[in-house]
Structure 1
Amino acid sequence: MPRRTQRRRALSQNFLHDQSVIAEVIGTLHPPPGTLVVDLGAGAGALTRRLARTNRVLAVELDPRWADHLRTHARAWGDVTVQRADALTVGFPRERFHLVSNAPYHVGTQLVRRVLTDAHGLERGVFVLQLETARRLAGDGRFAATWAPWFELRVHGRIPPRAFRPAPSVDSAVLTVVPRPVPLLSPAAFADYDAFLARVFNGRGNTLAQRVGDARALKRAAIPRDATPGSVPPEAFARLYGA
C-alpha cells in the first residue's frame, strides 16, 4: 500500500476525487459569487479549488502536510486563505459565511454539533458524512429534535465509496444545515427546551402522551395521541414544548 494511502487511512482521511460528486456537493451549497466559504478539513483541496473559482475560501486543515500542500498550490486557485487548525476548535469568521466539510468521519457528529453551537454567522452548511450518520443526525432522534427549532437539517443523495480515495467501506451522503429565517423558539429557551427533551426521550411509555402526561398539550400541538417520539418530525417537539 502506498505510504500516502497508509497515512490517509491512519488519519481517517477519505478525500473526494470524483469531479461530478464534487460539483454536486458544491451545487448543494450553492454560495453566491464572492461569498466567504469555510472549508473545514480541506485536505488536498478538492472542494477548495472548485469553490475558489467564484468565492473567497478559508481552508482549514489540521494535517501539516496537507496544510503545506494547500499553501503551495492555492495561490493559483484564487482568493484562498489557508489556516492550519483543528476544525473542532478553530474560530469562525465574524462576517456571514457558507461552510463545507469533508472532514474525517470519526469527528462528523462532533463537527456538526460544534457548528450548530458556535457558527453564529452561518448562512448554509454542507457536510459529507457517512450515510447512516447523516440519517441519524437529521432523523427522528433527539439530535434533530434538539436543533430543529433553530435549524433545518436535511439529507441529500447517496455518495458511493468509489468517489473517495481511499474508498471507505460504507456509503456516504450530504447533510445540509440551514438556519431558520424565523426560529421556532427563542435561543434563550435552549436549556429549558433541552431539559424537556430529556424528559420526553428518557420517559416511560411508548407514546408521547404517556411520556408527557398531558393529552391536551398534544392536541394543541396537533400531534396524534398515539404518536411515538420516532413517528413525528423534529419540529413537532418545539410545538409540543410551546404547548
Structure 2
Amino acid sequence: MPIYRGGRHEHGQNFLTDPSIIATMTRLVAATDGPIIEIGPGDGALTTPLAQLGPPVTAVEIDTRLAQRLAERLPSHVEVVADDFLDYRLPTSAHVLVGNLPFHQTTAMLRRILHAPAWTDAIVLVQWEVARRRAGVGGATMMTAQWAPWFTFTLHSRVPARAFTPRPGVDGGILTIHRREHPLLPPARRRQFHALVHRVYTGPGRGLAQILARNTSLGSPQAAQAWLTRQGVNAAGLPKDLPVEAWVDLFKTTGSSPPPHRTQSSSGRRRR
C-alpha cells in the first residue's frame, strides 16, 4: 500500500514511499499484459504510475477514507473499490495482480491469490524472508512445493524498511508469481498433489529415502533410494530439496494415497 502518512495500524498500513522501488514494481507490471488489479493502493503512490501504463486499473482498498480520496483524483480508467481484498471477487478473465501486501496478512493474501482463477502474473511486495522462502531460496517451503506445478516464483529485489512510512520492523522483498501457460499437472489433480506434498513434508523419517519409504507407496528405503537416484537427489536430503519435476514424477509414480498399513512382523513389531 503506497504513501499515505495517516496509515491506520489496524490495516497494517506501511506505505511504500521510495520512488525507485515504485518504479521497479511499475516496470515489472509493464512487462505483463492485461487489466491490472492493485491490492491496497493506499494513497495511490503506485496507482498513479500504473494508470499511466494504459490498461484499465482496479484499485481495491480496505480503508474507505483512502478509497474516497483516490476516487476523487485518479483518471476515469481507474476504478476504486472500497473492499477487503480477501473478500473481493476477482474476475474470471485474464488480469494482473500487483500490490504491497500488509505484512500481517501476507500468508492469507498469498493463499487467496494462489487459489484465484484467471490472473496471469502477480507482482507483490512482502516481507523479505517470506519472499525468499516462497521463491525457494535455501529450499522450497511446503506452500511453494504444493503450487509449483502451476506457478513459478521469482525473487527480484530486497526492499529496505526505510522505503516504507511508517517504517516496519523488517525489510521487504519483491516477489513475482507467474501462472504457467502449460501446467505440469492438470488443475483437477491439485488437491491430490497438495495432499502428497503435505504428507511428505509433515511425515516421519530422517532423510528423503526414509521419509518417502514411510509416507508414500514407494514402500521401502531401497525403492525410495532408487527413485531418488534417478531424480539426481541426495537420499539424505529433505523435502525442501526436491525440485518441482521430481515432485511431479513422485505424484505420477505413487499417486496421492497414503501407503498401505504394514502387516505385523513375525517378531510382533509393526514394520516401519
Q: Secondary structure at the match of 1:155?
A: strand
Cα distance in 2, alignment partners of residues 235 and 67 from structure 1 = 44
Note the 1:1-150 alignment, pairs <5 A: 5=5, 7-32=7-32, 35-54=34-53, 55-75=55-75, 79-118=77-116, 120-139=117-136, 140-150=140-150
Mapped partners of 1:44, 1:6: distance in 2? 10
**Displacement, 1:220?**
4.2
Work out whether 1:218 is the aligned partner of 2:217: no
Q: Secondary structure at the match of 2:46?
A: helix
C-alpha change, 1:89 and 1:150, in structure 2 (3 Å) is same
Q: Which has the higher contact order (CA 8 A, sep 6+)?
A: 1
The code of the aligned residue for 2:58 comes to L
Aligned-pair RMSD on alpha carbons? 1.9
List structure 1 segments (4+ residues) > 6 angstroms apart after TM superposition. Answer: none
TM-score normalized with structure 2 length: 0.80
* SS across alignment from 1:88: coil
| Closer, same or farther: CA 22–6 of 1 in aligned 2, 3 Å | closer
CA distance in structure 1 between the partners assigned to 2:132 and 2:50 by the alignment: 26
Q: C-alpha distance in 2, partners of 1:241/1:191? A: 12
Question: Tell me, what secondary structure is at the counterpart of 1:183?
Answer: coil
Runs of 5+ in structure 1 lacking a partner? none
Q: Contact 2:142/2:240 (CA < 8 Å) preserved in 1? A: no
2:175 corresponding residue in structure 1: 175
- Structure 2 gaps of 5+ residues are 214-223, 254-272
Aligned-residue sequence identity (percent) comes to 36
TM-score using structure 1 length: 0.90
Equivalent residues of 1:45, 1:70 under 8 A apart: yes
Give the partner amino acid of 1:37.
I
> Aligned pair in 2 of structure 1 residues 62, 196: CA closer, same or farther (>3 Å)?
same
Aligned counterparts of 1:201 and 1:26: Cα–Cα separation in 2: 36
Report the CA distance between 1:185 and its aligned residue: 1.0
How far did residue 235 of structure 1 move? 4.6
